[in-house]
């Protein structure tokens, strides 16, 4: 499918999907921190999907959660969103 069809919409959303390693790189933290947050904080975002290889999240939800809970400052969040 082309960019104007359903395939294009799915691909544009897919750029926001990430596992712990990708989220950690995006936020400038260690990958294990994502797993710790997931276990320790009941309000941590729910994974978009659980695959056999692991869980994936919408990186925007995790970033917003980190800012909201004070684990990432808004200035850092703005800088990481630009990358």
The pair of structure tokens assigned to 68 is 């909201």
CATH code assigned at 75: 1.10.1660.10
Three-state SS sequence of 56-74: EEEHHHHHHHHHHCCCCCH
Decide if 69 is inside a domain.
yes
End-to-end CA distance of the chain: 27
Beta bridge partner(s), residue 18: 57
Query: Which residue range forms the structural domain that includes residue 70?
Result: 17-81
Domain-embedded: residue 33: yes
Query: Is 1 a member of any domain?
Result: no
Number of structural domains the chain divides into: 1
From first to last of its 83 residues, what are the pLDDT tens digits of the chain?
455 566 677 788 888 999 999 999 989 999 999 999 999 999 999 999 999 999 999 999 999 999 999 988 776 665 655 44
Query: What pTM, to 2 d.p., does this model score?
Result: 0.77
């Amino acid at each position: 499918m082309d960019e104007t069809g359903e395939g294009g919409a799915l691909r544009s959303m897919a750029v926001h999907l990430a596992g712990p390693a990708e989220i950690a790189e995006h936020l400038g933290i260690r990958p294990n921190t994502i797993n710790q947050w997931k276990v320790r904080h009941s309000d941590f975002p729910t994974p978009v999907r659980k695959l056999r290889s692991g869980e994936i999240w919408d990186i925007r939800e995790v970033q917003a959660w980190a800012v909201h809970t004070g684990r990432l400052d808004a200035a850092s969040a703005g800088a990481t969103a630009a990358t």
